[in-house]
Amino acid sequence: NFYKTLEQVQSKFGARCIPLQLPIGAHDDFQGIVDLLTMKSYIGSPAKEAEIPASLQAEANSFREKLVEAVAEIDDRLIEKYLNGDMNHSKPIMLMNENG
């Protein structure tokens, strides 16, 4: 179970352990993943890029926001940009490069 495993990891290592992908379905119903970096889903085998299913959109947005917050907290200038609403959220990992 993805969510139980995530809870165990966060319990052991802290709440800042944030997934980069979310599953679409589970077990026999597994269909693919939502990539929180690109905010796209990849469904099937071979995987085909698609929009995030509506049923996962709110959850994906919530995890994406947590990911951006975690990246912003790496540097005081980034957290200031985040708090002021001046941060480009389109590529959270690349935010670290904004400071040169």
Distance CA 44, CA 38 (A): 17
Q: Which sign does the torsion angle of CA 87, 59, 22, 33 carry? A: negative
Residue 24 lies in a domain: yes
Residue 4 lies in a domain: no
Give per-residue pLDDT as tens, 6-65.
Answer: 999 999 998 888 899 999 999 999 999 999 988 999 999 999 999 999 999 999 999 998
Cβ atoms within 10 Å, residue 95: 20
Distance CA 69, CA 72 (A): 5
Note if the pTM is more than 0.85: no
Per-residue pLDDT at 14: 87
Residue 66 lies in a domain: yes
Q: How many domains does the chain have?
A: 1
- Name which of 32, 7, 30 is nearest 18 in CA terms: 7
Residue 3 lies in a domain: no
